[in-house]
Amino acid sequence: MQPVLLALIAFLAGLCLSAPPARAQDLPFRLPPGFRIEVFAGGLGSPRFMAVDPAGTLLVSIPGQGRVVALPDRDGDGRADAVVTVVDGLDRPHGLAFRDGALHVAETGRVLRFRYDPAALKAAEPVVVVANLPPGGGHWTRTIAFGPDGRLYVSVGSSCNVCREQDPRRAAIIRYETDGSGETVFASGIRNAVGIAFHPGTGRLWATVNERDWRGDDLPPDYITEVKEGGFYGWPDCFVAGGRPVPDDRSAGSGGCPPMAMPTIEIQAHSAPLGLAFYTGRLFPPEYRGSLFVAYQGSWNRSVPTGYKVVRVPFQNGNPGAVEDFATGWLADGRVHGRPIDLAVGADGALYLTDQSAARVYRISYRP
């Protein structure tokens, strides 16, 4: 049976086995003492990535509906007052970012800039910033972030599981000037870096990477890494396991591994780490400030499911510590209750989390 067909069967089976969405209070969520998780907004289709606008309102992309929505909480009660369409008619919008008050949206094949009105929660007058990103493919999401250098960084996943790409911008992170000029491959050999974010202290780029499939339950590890400029991270010829490069015999011409950058943190294979956010708020206890939070969407083709949680990576002097569970419960009693996707630190200091299969945004807060 062809790998693509097997993948489709596994995906559909996962949908059938997933439990219907439950209320937050009915799920067996587990967080450290003092933390609580509540539904901030629901009925959102399949929400993906988020950004906080200059006025503190949370925006969310909904690729399947071709739109970006705002979730205002005007009375500050911890629940969205409305779901407001900011802009629609888009081609699978995913990554969102603000720069000088303008909203930038990454479609699957380009990046658009909009004049944004934070009072009306509307985006208008689109301008194409990057016109010709490699569209679609096996990994169609495009994630964007502006670096401390003012430049635009765009993550583009591979078109396949393991193959030779014709476009060098595939399986890479691309850098542009703010106006879309000066295209440069910042780092390559990164199969699918769905999440990218800059460390607030060091200014260094970090990414979550989904590695290749069909090598068993435990290979190769997914990873969370600081991304080195000019770094080559191995795909498709090699991956890293246990801190050592491993050739992939399925890649044509693979007779050993070329010099390559080593991932910073290896994690369980098939965890599917997606969104990540450095905590810069003041609502959480002081020891959480500067920590990196990462959403694990969870496996779809592992015999024993894994992931389906939010983890924390503490940082000290710009260096990461060991990964620890922060919020769990989406995988309980052998059933999947949701798929964590992205994280964002709100203007109120809470940590917001999208759940694609439950059609929700959760709000994680702290009260001693």
Provide the 10 A C-beta neighbour count for residue 139. 22
Q: Would you give the distance in Å from CA 306 to the centre of its chain?
A: 17
Residues 118-140 have a mean pLDDT of 95
* Burial class of residue 166 in the structure, from the number of CB atoms within 10 Å of its CB (0-12 exposed, 13-18 middle, 19+ buried): exposed
Domains of the chain in sequence order: 3-366 (2.120.10.30)
Query: Alpha carbon of 106 to those of 89, 91, 140, 255, 331: distances in Å?
Result: 13, 9, 11, 37, 30
pTM, two decimals, is 0.92
pLDDT above 70 covers a percentage of the chain that reads 92
Q: Identify the CA nearest to 99 among candidates 154, 151, 155, 175.
A: 151
Q: What are phi and psi of 311, to 5 degrees?
A: -115, 160
Opening angle at CA 297, ends 292 and 301, nearest 5: 135
Q: Identify the CA nearest to 288 among candidates 312, 268, 264.
A: 312
Query: Alpha carbon of 148 to those of 98, 104, 178, 261: distances in Å?
Result: 13, 16, 12, 23
Asked whether residue 268 carries a pLDDT value surpassing 90, the answer given is yes
Q: What are phi and psi of 352, to 5 degrees?
A: -105, 145
> Which single residue is written with the structure tokens 């705002």?
70
pLDDT digits (tens, 9 = 90+) for 183-226: 999 999 999 999 999 999 999 999 999 999 877 788 999 999 99
pLDDT digits (tens, 9 = 90+) for 314-356: 999 999 999 999 999 999 887 899 999 999 999 999 999 999 9
